[in-house]
Structure 1
Protein backbone atom coordinates (compact mmCIF):
# COMPACT_ATOMS: atom_id res chain seq x y z
CA UNK A 1 0.00 0.00 0.00
CA UNK A 2 1.35 3.42 -0.89
CA UNK A 3 1.68 5.80 2.04
CA UNK A 4 -0.43 8.45 0.34
CA UNK A 5 -3.54 6.29 0.25
CA UNK A 6 -6.63 7.19 2.27
CA UNK A 7 -8.51 3.93 1.76
CA UNK A 8 -9.84 2.41 4.97
CA UNK A 9 -9.05 5.50 7.05
CA UNK A 10 -11.05 5.36 10.29
CA UNK A 11 -10.89 7.70 13.28
CA UNK A 12 -11.83 6.20 16.65
CA UNK A 13 -13.01 9.19 18.63
CA UNK A 14 -15.35 10.64 21.27
CA UNK A 15 -17.62 13.56 20.44
CA UNK A 16 -16.34 16.14 22.95
CA UNK A 17 -12.68 15.10 23.11
CA UNK A 18 -10.39 18.03 22.30
CA UNK A 19 -7.70 15.52 21.34
CA UNK A 20 -9.97 13.79 18.85
CA UNK A 21 -11.10 17.17 17.56
CA UNK A 22 -7.49 17.97 16.71
CA UNK A 23 -7.54 15.03 14.32
CA UNK A 24 -10.89 16.01 12.82
CA UNK A 25 -9.71 19.56 12.16
CA UNK A 26 -6.44 18.32 10.66
CA UNK A 27 -8.22 15.87 8.37
CA UNK A 28 -10.60 18.64 7.24
CA UNK A 29 -7.77 21.12 6.66
CA UNK A 30 -5.88 18.55 4.60
CA UNK A 31 -9.00 17.50 2.68
CA UNK A 32 -8.63 13.82 3.58
CA UNK A 33 -11.87 11.77 3.68
CA UNK A 34 -12.28 9.29 6.52
CA UNK A 35 -14.82 7.27 8.46
CA UNK A 36 -15.74 8.43 11.98
CA UNK A 37 -16.25 5.82 14.71
CA UNK A 38 -17.73 7.12 17.97
CA UNK A 39 -16.39 5.26 21.00
CA UNK A 40 -17.69 4.67 24.52
CA UNK A 41 -15.24 5.97 27.10
CA UNK A 42 -17.12 5.99 30.41
CA UNK A 43 -18.67 2.54 30.03
CA UNK A 44 -17.47 -0.64 28.39
CA UNK A 45 -14.86 0.16 25.78
CA UNK A 46 -15.11 -1.53 22.42
CA UNK A 47 -12.94 -4.46 21.46
CA UNK A 48 -11.78 -2.43 18.47
CA UNK A 49 -10.48 0.37 20.70
CA UNK A 50 -8.83 -2.04 23.14
CA UNK A 51 -7.13 -3.89 20.28
CA UNK A 52 -6.09 -0.69 18.56
CA UNK A 53 -4.65 1.03 21.63
CA UNK A 54 -3.86 -1.69 24.17
CA UNK A 55 -1.38 0.51 26.05
CA UNK A 56 -3.52 3.55 26.90
CA UNK A 57 -6.96 2.20 25.92
CA UNK A 58 -8.12 5.64 24.85
CA UNK A 59 -8.97 7.75 21.83
CA UNK A 60 -8.07 9.13 19.40
CA UNK A 61 -6.81 6.30 17.25
CA UNK A 62 -6.42 6.60 13.50
CA UNK A 63 -6.72 3.31 11.65
CA UNK A 64 -4.99 3.42 8.28
CA UNK A 65 -5.75 0.23 6.39
CA UNK A 66 -6.23 -1.40 9.79
CA UNK A 67 -2.94 -0.20 11.25
CA UNK A 68 -3.40 1.96 14.37
CA UNK A 69 -1.77 5.31 14.99
CA UNK A 70 -2.34 6.54 18.57
CA UNK A 71 -2.13 9.93 20.35
CA UNK A 72 -3.43 13.12 18.75
CA UNK A 73 -0.14 14.89 18.03
CA UNK A 74 1.40 11.70 16.69
CA UNK A 75 -1.61 11.42 14.38
CA UNK A 76 -1.16 15.01 13.21
CA UNK A 77 2.48 14.33 12.39
CA UNK A 78 1.52 11.08 10.65
CA UNK A 79 -1.06 12.80 8.46
CA UNK A 80 1.56 15.22 7.16
CA UNK A 81 4.03 12.41 6.44
CA UNK A 82 1.63 9.77 5.10
CA UNK A 83 -0.35 12.13 2.86
CA UNK A 84 2.21 14.43 1.24
CA UNK A 85 -0.07 15.13 -1.72
CA UNK A 86 -2.97 16.28 0.48
CA UNK A 87 -4.32 19.80 0.13
CA UNK A 88 -1.74 21.28 2.49
CA UNK A 89 0.87 20.56 5.13
CA UNK A 90 0.27 21.56 8.74
CA UNK A 91 3.93 21.62 9.74
CA UNK A 92 6.40 24.16 8.33
CA UNK A 93 9.18 22.97 6.02
CA UNK A 94 12.03 24.42 8.09
CA UNK A 95 13.32 21.87 10.66
CA UNK A 96 13.72 24.43 13.45
CA UNK A 97 10.24 25.85 12.86
CA UNK A 98 8.86 22.30 12.92
CA UNK A 99 10.60 21.63 16.23
CA UNK A 100 9.14 24.80 17.76
CA UNK A 101 5.68 23.93 16.50
CA UNK A 102 5.89 20.46 18.03
CA UNK A 103 7.09 21.91 21.33
CA UNK A 104 4.24 24.41 21.66
CA UNK A 105 1.63 21.90 20.53
CA UNK A 106 2.75 19.46 23.23
CA UNK A 107 2.97 22.27 25.80
CA UNK A 108 -0.65 23.23 25.15
CA UNK A 109 -1.80 19.91 26.64
CA UNK A 110 -1.22 21.57 30.02
CA UNK A 111 -4.35 23.66 29.43
CA UNK A 112 -6.52 20.55 29.60
CA UNK A 113 -4.47 18.91 32.35
CA UNK A 114 -4.66 21.92 34.67
CA UNK A 115 -8.25 22.78 33.73
CA UNK A 116 -9.29 19.28 34.71
CA UNK A 117 -7.68 19.81 38.11
CA UNK A 118 -9.80 22.94 38.61
CA UNK A 119 -13.09 21.05 38.46
CA UNK A 120 -11.82 17.75 39.85
CA UNK A 121 -9.77 18.72 42.90
CA UNK A 122 -11.61 19.29 46.17
CA UNK A 123 -8.97 21.16 48.18
CA UNK A 124 -8.92 24.94 47.82
CA UNK A 125 -5.13 25.10 48.06
CA UNK A 126 -4.66 22.53 45.28
CA UNK A 127 -7.22 24.26 43.07
CA UNK A 128 -5.55 27.62 43.64
CA UNK A 129 -2.21 26.15 42.58
CA UNK A 130 -3.79 24.63 39.46
CA UNK A 131 -5.40 27.99 38.68
CA UNK A 132 -2.10 29.87 38.99
CA UNK A 133 -0.33 27.31 36.81
CA UNK A 134 -3.08 27.43 34.17
CA UNK A 135 -3.00 31.23 34.09
CA UNK A 136 0.77 31.08 33.50
CA UNK A 137 0.35 28.53 30.70
CA UNK A 138 -2.20 30.78 28.99
CA UNK A 139 0.14 33.75 29.36
CA UNK A 140 2.98 31.73 27.86
CA UNK A 141 0.81 30.75 24.88
CA UNK A 142 -0.27 34.39 24.55
CA UNK A 143 3.38 35.43 24.48
CA UNK A 144 4.30 32.85 21.87
CA UNK A 145 1.38 33.97 19.69
CA UNK A 146 2.36 37.62 20.07
CA UNK A 147 0.92 39.88 17.41
CA UNK A 148 0.82 37.18 14.75
CA UNK A 149 -2.47 36.21 13.15
CA UNK A 150 -1.80 32.53 13.89
CA UNK A 151 0.90 30.73 15.84
CA UNK A 152 2.87 29.92 12.70
CA UNK A 153 2.44 33.38 11.22
CA UNK A 154 -0.17 34.15 8.59
CA UNK A 155 -1.53 30.62 8.12
CA UNK A 156 -3.62 28.39 10.38
CA UNK A 157 -1.36 25.40 11.01
CA UNK A 158 -0.04 22.76 13.43
CA UNK A 159 0.00 24.68 16.74
CA UNK A 160 -3.32 26.34 15.96
CA UNK A 161 -4.92 22.93 15.42
CA UNK A 162 -3.44 21.68 18.69
CA UNK A 163 -4.49 24.64 20.84
CA UNK A 164 -7.86 25.69 19.44
CA UNK A 165 -9.72 22.59 20.62
CA UNK A 166 -9.23 23.64 24.26
CA UNK A 167 -10.97 26.99 23.73
CA UNK A 168 -14.57 25.78 24.37
CA UNK A 169 -13.36 24.41 27.73
CA UNK A 170 -11.98 27.72 28.93
CA UNK A 171 -15.29 29.32 30.04
CA UNK A 172 -15.78 26.42 32.46
CA UNK A 173 -12.18 26.69 33.65
CA UNK A 174 -12.71 30.42 34.16
CA UNK A 175 -15.73 29.73 36.35
CA UNK A 176 -14.00 27.10 38.46
CA UNK A 177 -10.75 29.06 38.67
CA UNK A 178 -12.04 32.60 39.06
CA UNK A 179 -10.12 34.23 36.20
CA UNK A 180 -10.86 35.48 32.69
CA UNK A 181 -8.99 34.66 29.51
CA UNK A 182 -9.70 38.14 28.13
CA UNK A 183 -7.64 39.65 30.96
CA UNK A 184 -5.08 36.85 31.25
CA UNK A 185 -4.35 36.28 27.55
CA UNK A 186 -6.15 38.87 25.40
CA UNK A 187 -4.30 38.05 22.18
CA UNK A 188 -5.08 34.37 22.64
CA UNK A 189 -8.76 35.24 23.14
CA UNK A 190 -8.82 37.24 19.90
CA UNK A 191 -6.99 34.43 18.09
CA UNK A 192 -9.61 31.94 19.28
CA UNK A 193 -12.36 34.06 17.74
CA UNK A 194 -10.48 34.17 14.43
CA UNK A 195 -10.00 30.42 14.46
CA UNK A 196 -13.68 29.89 15.21
CA UNK A 197 -14.53 31.42 11.84
CA UNK A 198 -12.78 28.60 9.99
CA UNK A 199 -15.09 25.91 8.67
CA UNK A 200 -12.87 23.08 9.88
CA UNK A 201 -12.96 24.46 13.43
CA UNK A 202 -16.62 25.45 13.51
CA UNK A 203 -17.70 22.00 12.35
CA UNK A 204 -15.46 20.13 14.80
CA UNK A 205 -15.93 21.98 18.09
CA UNK A 206 -18.94 22.11 20.40
CA UNK A 207 -20.25 25.13 22.25
CA UNK A 208 -18.89 26.05 25.70
CA UNK A 209 -22.38 25.29 27.04
CA UNK A 210 -22.22 21.71 25.74
CA UNK A 211 -18.74 21.30 27.18
CA UNK A 212 -19.88 22.63 30.55
CA UNK A 213 -22.78 20.16 30.56
CA UNK A 214 -20.28 17.39 29.91
CA UNK A 215 -18.04 18.53 32.78
CA UNK A 216 -21.06 18.62 35.09
CA UNK A 217 -21.87 15.06 34.04
CA UNK A 218 -18.29 13.99 34.70
CA UNK A 219 -18.40 15.50 38.19
CA UNK A 220 -21.48 13.43 38.95
CA UNK A 221 -19.90 10.37 37.39
CA UNK A 222 -16.83 10.72 39.63
CA UNK A 223 -18.91 11.66 42.69
CA UNK A 224 -17.38 15.10 42.99
CA UNK A 225 -20.61 17.07 43.49
Structure 2
Protein backbone atom coordinates (compact mmCIF):
# COMPACT_ATOMS: atom_id res chain seq x y z
CA UNK A 1 0.00 0.00 0.00
CA UNK A 2 1.41 3.39 -1.00
CA UNK A 3 1.30 6.05 1.66
CA UNK A 4 1.28 9.66 0.55
CA UNK A 5 4.26 11.67 1.66
CA UNK A 6 3.67 14.75 3.77
CA UNK A 7 3.80 17.19 0.83
CA UNK A 8 1.28 15.13 -1.13
CA UNK A 9 -1.60 15.50 1.30
CA UNK A 10 -4.77 16.85 -0.27
CA UNK A 11 -3.39 16.92 -3.81
CA UNK A 12 -6.27 16.69 -6.28
CA UNK A 13 -6.37 16.99 -10.04
CA UNK A 14 -9.55 17.85 -11.91
CA UNK A 15 -9.33 16.59 -15.48
CA UNK A 16 -11.01 15.30 -18.62
CA UNK A 17 -9.65 12.16 -20.27
CA UNK A 18 -8.88 13.46 -23.80
CA UNK A 19 -7.34 16.74 -22.62
CA UNK A 20 -3.64 17.03 -23.53
CA UNK A 21 -3.35 19.83 -20.98
CA UNK A 22 -4.43 17.50 -18.18
CA UNK A 23 -2.05 14.82 -19.40
CA UNK A 24 0.94 17.17 -19.23
CA UNK A 25 0.16 17.76 -15.56
CA UNK A 26 -0.15 14.02 -14.88
CA UNK A 27 3.27 13.43 -16.45
CA UNK A 28 4.76 16.23 -14.34
CA UNK A 29 3.30 14.72 -11.16
CA UNK A 30 4.82 11.37 -12.15
CA UNK A 31 8.26 12.91 -12.70
CA UNK A 32 8.09 14.19 -9.12
CA UNK A 33 6.53 11.01 -7.70
CA UNK A 34 3.55 12.91 -6.31
CA UNK A 35 0.45 10.94 -5.43
CA UNK A 36 -2.88 12.62 -6.03
CA UNK A 37 -6.61 12.06 -6.28
CA UNK A 38 -7.94 12.37 -9.80
CA UNK A 39 -11.44 13.73 -10.42
CA UNK A 40 -12.85 13.21 -13.93
CA UNK A 41 -15.04 16.10 -15.06
CA UNK A 42 -18.01 16.07 -17.41
CA UNK A 43 -17.35 19.29 -19.30
CA UNK A 44 -20.93 19.48 -20.53
CA UNK A 45 -22.05 19.46 -16.90
CA UNK A 46 -19.20 20.94 -14.88
CA UNK A 47 -19.12 20.24 -11.17
CA UNK A 48 -19.68 22.98 -8.63
CA UNK A 49 -16.21 22.23 -7.30
CA UNK A 50 -14.55 22.90 -10.65
CA UNK A 51 -16.45 26.17 -11.10
CA UNK A 52 -15.52 27.21 -7.57
CA UNK A 53 -11.84 26.35 -8.04
CA UNK A 54 -11.50 27.88 -11.52
CA UNK A 55 -14.10 30.66 -11.80
CA UNK A 56 -12.04 32.60 -14.38
CA UNK A 57 -11.62 29.99 -17.14
CA UNK A 58 -14.01 27.28 -15.90
CA UNK A 59 -11.72 24.70 -17.51
CA UNK A 60 -9.50 21.74 -16.64
CA UNK A 61 -6.87 21.06 -15.52
CA UNK A 62 -7.09 22.40 -11.99
CA UNK A 63 -4.62 21.20 -9.37
CA UNK A 64 -5.70 21.62 -5.76
CA UNK A 65 -2.87 21.65 -3.25
CA UNK A 66 -3.80 21.81 0.43
CA UNK A 67 -7.12 23.40 -0.51
CA UNK A 68 -5.59 26.00 -2.85
CA UNK A 69 -6.42 25.76 -6.58
CA UNK A 70 -3.96 26.37 -9.43
CA UNK A 71 -5.23 26.57 -13.04
CA UNK A 72 -3.61 26.52 -16.52
CA UNK A 73 -1.36 23.58 -17.36
CA UNK A 74 1.95 25.44 -17.84
CA UNK A 75 1.42 27.34 -14.58
CA UNK A 76 0.59 24.08 -12.78
CA UNK A 77 3.69 22.32 -14.15
CA UNK A 78 5.96 25.13 -12.95
CA UNK A 79 4.24 25.01 -9.55
CA UNK A 80 4.80 21.24 -9.32
CA UNK A 81 8.49 21.72 -10.14
CA UNK A 82 8.88 24.29 -7.37
CA UNK A 83 6.61 22.73 -4.74
CA UNK A 84 8.40 19.36 -4.96
CA UNK A 85 11.82 20.77 -5.80
CA UNK A 86 13.67 18.10 -3.82
CA UNK A 87 11.90 15.16 -5.45
CA UNK A 88 12.46 13.53 -8.80
CA UNK A 89 14.19 15.21 -11.71
CA UNK A 90 13.94 18.97 -12.25
CA UNK A 91 11.36 19.92 -14.89
CA UNK A 92 12.77 23.38 -15.62
CA UNK A 93 16.52 24.01 -15.82
CA UNK A 94 18.32 25.65 -12.90
CA UNK A 95 20.26 28.04 -15.15
CA UNK A 96 18.25 31.28 -15.65
CA UNK A 97 19.05 31.52 -19.37
CA UNK A 98 18.16 27.89 -20.05
CA UNK A 99 14.99 28.33 -18.00
CA UNK A 100 14.03 31.37 -20.07
CA UNK A 101 14.69 29.45 -23.29
CA UNK A 102 12.52 26.55 -22.13
CA UNK A 103 9.66 29.01 -21.57
CA UNK A 104 10.38 30.54 -24.99
CA UNK A 105 9.97 27.18 -26.75
CA UNK A 106 6.77 26.44 -24.88
CA UNK A 107 5.38 29.75 -26.15
CA UNK A 108 6.63 28.85 -29.63
CA UNK A 109 4.51 25.71 -29.47
CA UNK A 110 1.42 27.66 -28.40
CA UNK A 111 1.82 30.60 -30.78
CA UNK A 112 3.56 29.20 -33.87
CA UNK A 113 3.16 25.42 -34.04
CA UNK A 114 -0.22 24.42 -32.64
CA UNK A 115 -2.36 26.76 -34.84
CA UNK A 116 -1.19 25.42 -38.25
CA UNK A 117 -1.29 21.79 -37.06
CA UNK A 118 -4.89 22.24 -35.90
CA UNK A 119 -5.81 24.03 -39.14
CA UNK A 120 -4.25 21.18 -41.16
CA UNK A 121 -6.40 18.68 -39.27
CA UNK A 122 -9.67 20.62 -39.51
CA UNK A 123 -9.58 21.75 -43.17
CA UNK A 124 -9.28 20.22 -46.62
CA UNK A 125 -8.08 21.17 -50.10
CA UNK A 126 -5.84 24.20 -50.52
CA UNK A 127 -6.41 25.38 -46.94
CA UNK A 128 -5.16 22.06 -45.64
CA UNK A 129 -2.15 22.09 -47.97
CA UNK A 130 -1.18 25.60 -46.89
CA UNK A 131 -1.56 24.73 -43.19
CA UNK A 132 0.49 21.54 -43.68
CA UNK A 133 3.31 23.57 -45.25
CA UNK A 134 3.18 26.15 -42.47
CA UNK A 135 3.30 23.43 -39.81
CA UNK A 136 6.28 21.73 -41.48
CA UNK A 137 8.15 25.05 -41.51
CA UNK A 138 7.70 25.34 -37.72
CA UNK A 139 8.54 21.67 -37.14
CA UNK A 140 11.82 22.20 -39.02
CA UNK A 141 12.64 24.98 -36.54
CA UNK A 142 12.07 22.50 -33.69
CA UNK A 143 14.07 19.83 -35.52
CA UNK A 144 17.06 22.17 -35.54
CA UNK A 145 16.60 22.96 -31.84
CA UNK A 146 16.40 19.27 -30.91
CA UNK A 147 19.50 18.51 -33.03
CA UNK A 148 19.78 14.80 -32.29
CA UNK A 149 19.26 15.07 -28.52
CA UNK A 150 17.17 12.40 -26.84
CA UNK A 151 14.87 15.04 -25.34
CA UNK A 152 14.72 18.82 -25.57
CA UNK A 153 15.99 18.91 -21.99
CA UNK A 154 18.85 16.50 -22.79
CA UNK A 155 18.76 12.96 -21.46
CA UNK A 156 15.58 13.37 -19.43
CA UNK A 157 12.12 14.82 -20.03
CA UNK A 158 11.76 18.52 -19.18
CA UNK A 159 9.35 21.42 -19.53
CA UNK A 160 9.49 21.67 -23.34
CA UNK A 161 9.08 17.89 -23.71
CA UNK A 162 5.99 17.90 -21.50
CA UNK A 163 4.44 20.74 -23.49
CA UNK A 164 5.12 19.08 -26.83
CA UNK A 165 4.41 15.60 -25.49
CA UNK A 166 0.80 15.21 -26.69
CA UNK A 167 1.95 15.70 -30.29
CA UNK A 168 3.77 12.37 -30.02
CA UNK A 169 0.48 10.44 -30.03
CA UNK A 170 -1.88 13.02 -31.62
CA UNK A 171 0.03 13.63 -34.86
CA UNK A 172 0.01 9.92 -35.85
CA UNK A 173 -3.77 9.91 -35.30
CA UNK A 174 -4.13 13.10 -37.39
CA UNK A 175 -2.02 11.48 -40.12
CA UNK A 176 -4.15 8.35 -40.09
CA UNK A 177 -7.43 10.28 -40.26
CA UNK A 178 -6.32 12.75 -42.96
CA UNK A 179 -4.21 10.29 -44.95
CA UNK A 180 -1.40 12.88 -45.00
CA UNK A 181 1.99 12.37 -43.34
CA UNK A 182 3.55 15.17 -41.33
CA UNK A 183 6.50 13.79 -39.35
CA UNK A 184 8.74 11.36 -41.24
CA UNK A 185 12.16 9.93 -40.40
CA UNK A 186 13.48 11.30 -43.70
CA UNK A 187 12.37 14.91 -43.22
CA UNK A 188 12.38 15.21 -39.43
CA UNK A 189 14.68 12.47 -38.06
CA UNK A 190 15.32 14.03 -34.63
CA UNK A 191 11.63 14.76 -33.99
CA UNK A 192 10.66 11.31 -35.22
CA UNK A 193 13.12 9.71 -32.77
CA UNK A 194 11.98 12.07 -29.99
CA UNK A 195 8.37 10.91 -30.43
CA UNK A 196 9.44 7.29 -29.92
CA UNK A 197 11.65 8.16 -26.95
CA UNK A 198 8.87 10.18 -25.33
CA UNK A 199 6.14 7.56 -25.77
CA UNK A 200 8.37 4.76 -24.44
CA UNK A 201 9.59 6.66 -21.37
CA UNK A 202 8.43 5.24 -17.99
CA UNK A 203 6.74 8.52 -17.04
CA UNK A 204 4.56 8.49 -20.15
CA UNK A 205 3.95 4.99 -21.52
CA UNK A 206 1.35 3.87 -18.98
CA UNK A 207 -0.31 7.28 -18.81
CA UNK A 208 -1.81 7.91 -22.23
CA UNK A 209 -5.47 8.33 -23.16
CA UNK A 210 -7.24 5.32 -24.75
CA UNK A 211 -6.06 5.94 -28.31
CA UNK A 212 -8.89 4.08 -30.09
CA UNK A 213 -11.45 6.14 -28.18
CA UNK A 214 -9.48 9.32 -28.87
CA UNK A 215 -9.29 8.49 -32.59
CA UNK A 216 -13.09 8.24 -32.79
CA UNK A 217 -13.46 11.55 -30.96
CA UNK A 218 -10.98 13.32 -33.25
CA UNK A 219 -12.59 11.82 -36.36
CA UNK A 220 -15.94 13.26 -35.25
CA UNK A 221 -14.34 16.66 -34.59
CA UNK A 222 -12.78 16.76 -38.07
CA UNK A 223 -16.08 15.80 -39.70
CA UNK A 224 -17.89 18.52 -37.74
CA UNK A 225 -15.40 21.12 -39.04
CA UNK A 226 -15.58 19.87 -42.63
CA UNK A 227 -19.39 19.87 -42.54
CA UNK A 228 -19.43 23.46 -41.31
CA UNK A 229 -20.92 22.56 -37.93
CA UNK A 230 -17.94 24.10 -36.14
CA UNK A 231 -16.12 27.26 -37.15
Distance 2:57 2:126 in 1: 30
1:212 corresponds in structure 2 to: 215
1:7 corresponds in structure 2 to: 9
Deviations 1:146-204 (A, max 9, x none): 11111122222221111112211102333537333014422111111112221211122
Distance 1:79 1:108 in 2: 21
1:45 corresponds in structure 2 to: 46
Distance 2:90 2:157 in 1: 10
Distance 2:90 2:115 in 1: 28
2:24 corresponds in structure 1 to: 22
Q: Spell out the pairing of 1:123-134 with structure 2 (5 A cutoff).
A: 124-134=125-135
Q: Is the 2:14–2:50 contact (alpha carbons within 8 Å) kept by the matching residues of 1? A: yes
Q: Is the 1:128–1:177 contact (alpha carbons within 8 Å) kept by the matching residues of 2? A: no
1:62 corresponds in structure 2 to: 63
Aligned length in residues? 220
1:102 corresponds in structure 2 to: 103
Distance 1:5 1:93 in 2: 22
Deviations 1:72-107 (A, max 9, x none): 111111111112222221111100000111111232
RMSD of aligned Cα (Å) = 2.3
Q: Tell me the secondary structure at the aligned position of residue 200 of structure 2.
A: coil
- State the shift of 1:220 in Å: 5.8
Distance 2:61 2:70 in 1: 9
Q: What's the TM-score, normalizing by structure 1?
A: 0.87
Q: Which runs of 5+ in 1 are unaligned?
A: none
Q: Is the 2:54–2:62 contact (alpha carbons within 8 Å) kept by the matching residues of 1? A: yes
Change (3 A) 1:158 1:50: same
| Mean CA deviation greater in 87-96 or 214-223 | 214-223
Distance 1:184 1:51 in 2: 47
